[in-house]
Chains A and B, each alone.
Chain A
């Protein structure tokens, strides 16, 4: 139950959300709610082919259709120098196809008309003459020497995008050579899609009289969008205002700049009037950024007592037709090298090869923290394979190999310096709370009766909060974040941040951080994000970076204000600054707690009674370059029962114990965990975007790409341990993505555990009932 926002010392308390009053009244303002005078609507014509040359495009009938104001093709954009745009991965991506199309649902032409329906009607009238080309959907075949080259625009005539590696190959090989036990497992993390409930869209409003472009857009990173738009369009950055209004969920889907945005901007530039583009669900699933699609092989070298020695991982990454994976520029496979997980490996070697295929671009999305989902799933899955091979309890194997509490800060074999952790404590709490030993007993009894019950554990380490400037940048811009806090004379505060929430509750939690630092209640602090004209420059919200980066900035910014406030307090109390103490609510004279002034008094004095030599006003800005990432961790346990007749898996219980350091708002953290576990559940059991041999996307909308309902979704249990981040200003770590990173392995481990008596060591996700049914039938099990 939420507490009032007027609570003092609000850090750590379940304060009711400030954003809710508008959202429960239908008064949120999302992009499609934006209506401007003379606004037109844009509809995009998409390719029915996965790979085809465009012979010609006939737009004459569309141009003559009622209400149509403009038709654009790739050639038109080329004349504006907008046919291609740079991606966050350093590749180029077509905005609209010129010459050929490279994936089904790719943007080919666009119509602008007075109404949405007119634009859709006219789009149907555009005739495109295609010459189909051979299609590549299998990333392994894409690397074959005779594979058709997809990207004719690239200098290197190959479908190979990059090779990337981390760790010590030689040391790893040596340890493998002498290891008594080696396990190896191929693991696929299927292509899935973040599917926020609100699809992507924008309203581009170019005002020729002011030479100013205003872009309302579903954006997790509005400042970066503005910079990219300035680079692409040639418009000066101070004449571009990007506004990311209320966002109906992002989950990484709304980090990139999509072709639709650029087309809408191009149309508005040409017409000098606002142009709205809102994609359909089908366009969202089939063409906007997918997630995962990693084909991984992991090997663990270990001793017979289960002590792990070395880890070797080889991955083929399917990136689709353009490498648009939203990664920091030095990390083409994201932070995948966190794959040694929570365990103390002596050495590790990880390599990833990126491959072009005739599919939609993307890869990094859906609470992945830059490929940590893949890494975490892989190591947690393969640790279970090792446990099974050794006949060891998976909890015992983990306890034997955890990085110990006293080893932090811990340098991983691939170079990460984990900030803090107490893995044993977290797992033991989880085992205790779920009644692990009793569950194993129950399982043994059920096995004896021929019933199928499984218990799955995942003890993951996340890496979030990118990041330190020496390592992390997006299109060259270092991955700091920022806060700007301004006191008004009456003691009320407006604060703006460089991040952009999409439902994670920043308007509440950042107010809590600032209020805690300044002796206010959350109610006294208004938080704003998303308007690039007013908010300080920041890199946006994704990869659970808000609390680590902007959260740090908010605290340090407030402390900067407190430094000045102390001077004003000294002036008001008529003592020297050294004699002033801060107790969290007020300044008082040392030894005389009765003589005090509140921050409200100080704020008023900053405007009315300023000490000599001090600038009037009370405000500060802070751009925070984090010294390291934060490494939250967790221990998740799933208990499943399997129906032998149908192969249906029922998740009987799921307990998630998370440790994200100091908690700002436990109610909001729980909500994040519930949502992320539901995504993990969907990924484990129902989500996949397959392509057929002709490159047809077989799950382009929510009829075939499944999102779980309340009836499908298990009840979630949560708990926490607290191991603060030593380097973070308030000891807080990110957490938003932990539940998606940590949970798929727990589900799959549970199902495999249930089927292990039949020798099953691995099942690739999604675990549809038919897969389990087939395994049971193969082993002669029937109802």
Chain B
């Protein structure tokens, strides 16, 4: 089946099997491998992306269901070589270790801050409860989301200086 889908602002046309899951379409056909697969029961949220601005687990959406719609993945968070405040906050607060849950966690945090720009710790923990992390114990993820919320509301101008010196060289 032919589908047209906009991913991170860029239009794609592709031929997919109806059974192809969105996660595999993103990873294998579009080579956007930041979206990860951590389970087979929709438990872990490592595959979390935004579909028309709404948070979905892309292992539980068919690629054909994304036809005519917009997808945002972790690769779309950075704009013009500038990390999204959530990305730099995750770095500054050491909110990632192995990095495998991080893309999905960033997307879920992104959706949360869109809806609730100043969440409490409890609201953050609740909002991220669809995303499993095996490394961090969540403490620093909560801190990072709080820091990003402050950054986004303009309360803080701080950025990790290493981001400025090395941040854009890895792409």
Contacts and interface: CB of A to CB of B under 8 A. Distances in A.
A1 B96 contact: no
A466 B142 CA distance: 35
| Size category of the binding interface on chain B | 35 or more
A176 B27 CA distance: 63
Contacts of A199: 38
B97 interface: yes
B99 A503 contact: yes
A21 B90 contact: no
Nearest to A704: B41
Contacts of A246: 98-99
A671 interface: yes
A16 B39 contact: no
A198 interface: yes
B135 A16 contact: no
Interface in A702-759: 702-703, 707, 709-713, 715-716
A92 to B, nearest CB: 30
B139 A715 contact: yes
Contact of B139 (A25, A33, A716): A716
A197 B94 contact: no
Given A17-B91, A24-B91, A197 B126 contact: no
A20 interface: yes
Interface in A1-59: 1-2, 4-6, 14, 16-17, 19-30, 32-33, 35
B17 A20 contact: no
Nearest to B77: A25
A444 interface: no
A246 B96 CA distance: 13
Interface stretch (B50-58, B61-69, B101-109): B101-109
B45 to A, nearest CB: 9
Interface string A182-206: 0000000000000111110000000
Contacts of A505: 97
B40 A701 contact: yes
B34 A710 contact: no
B171 interface: yes
A158 to B, nearest CB: 37
B113 interface: no
Contacts, number: 217
B133 A671 contact: no
Interface stretch (A247-255, A431-439, A469-477): A247-255
A664 to B, nearest CB: 14
Contacts of B121: 715
A148 interface: no
Given A2-B92, A6-B162, A671-B136, A502 B98 contact: yes
A771 interface: no
Given A2-B93, A30-B36, A675-B97, A716 B160 contact: no
A503 B134 CA distance: 10
B135 A33 contact: no
Contacts of B27: 32-33
A69 interface: no
Contact of A675 (B93, B134, B160, B167): B134
Contact of B131 (A20, A251, A710): A710
B125 interface: yes
B136 A26 contact: no
A30 B100 contact: yes
A16 B160 contact: yes
B10 interface: no
A17 B98 CA distance: 11
A417 interface: no
B96 A24 contact: yes
A698 to B, nearest CB: 15
Contacts of A197: 36, 38, 44, 46, 98, 100-101, 132-135
A251 B98 CA distance: 11
Nearest to B97: A503
A668 B135 CA distance: 11
Contacts of B126: 710-711
Nearest to B90: A24
Nearest to B17: A117
Nearest to A668: B94
B146 interface: no
A21 B167 contact: yes
- For A199, A249, A523, the residue with the greatest tally of chain B CB atoms inside 10 Å of its CB is A249
B170 interface: yes
A160 interface: no
B75 interface: yes
B43 to A, nearest CB: 4
A667 B137 CA distance: 14
B33 A32 contact: yes
A467 B135 CA distance: 25
Contact of B137 (A23, A248, A251, A674): A674
A671 B91 contact: no
B85 to A, nearest CB: 11
A677 interface: yes
A671 B94 contact: yes
Contacts of B19: 117
Nearest to B78: A25
A504 B44 CA distance: 21
B7 interface: no
B40 A674 contact: no
Nearest to B24: A116
Interface in B116-171: 121, 124-126, 128-142, 160-163, 165-167, 170-171
Nearest to A703: B41
A105 to B, nearest CB: 13
A673 B131 CA distance: 20
Contact of B136 (A17, A251, A675, A712): A675
Contacts of A707: 43-44, 132, 134
A504 B97 contact: yes
A26 B43 contact: no
Contact of A702 (B35, B43, B142, B166): B43
Nearest to A116: B24
B94 A710 contact: no
Nearest to B91: A20
A248 B161 contact: no
Contacts of B39: 281, 701-702
A247 B135 CA distance: 12
B83 A247 contact: no
A23 B161 contact: no
A281 to B, nearest CB: 4
Nearest to B93: A1
B57 to A, nearest CB: 13
B34 A27 contact: yes
Nearest to A247: B98
A544 B163 CA distance: 30
A248 B98 contact: yes
Contacts of A675: 97, 134-137
A445 B170 CA distance: 58
Given A26-B35, A28-B99, A282 B40 contact: yes
Which residue among B28, B134, B165 has the maximum number of chain A CB atoms within 10 Å of its CB? B134
A711 B129 CA distance: 6
Contacts of B165: 4, 6, 523
Contact of A503 (B20, B87, B135): B135
Given A24-B106, A668-B94, A713-B125, 19 more contacts: A16-B94, A20-B90, A23-B99, A25-B75, A26-B32, A26-B34, A30-B100, A33-B33, A197-B98, A197-B101, A246-B99, A280-B40, A282-B41, A523-B162, A671-B97, A674-B140, A702-B44, A707-B134, A711-B125
12 contacts: A14-B94, A25-B171, A196-B98, A246-B98, A247-B98, A281-B43, A668-B94, A671-B136, A675-B136, A701-B43, A702-B43, A710-B133
Interface of A: 1-2, 4-6, 14, 16-17, 19-30, 32-33, 35, 116-117, 195-199, 246-249, 251, 280-282, 502-505, 523, 667-668, 670-679, 701-703, 707, 709-713, 715-716
10 nearest A-B residue pairs (beta carbon): A26-B34, A503-B98, A248-B100, A23-B99, A674-B137, A503-B97, A678-B137, A26-B74, A711-B129, A33-B33
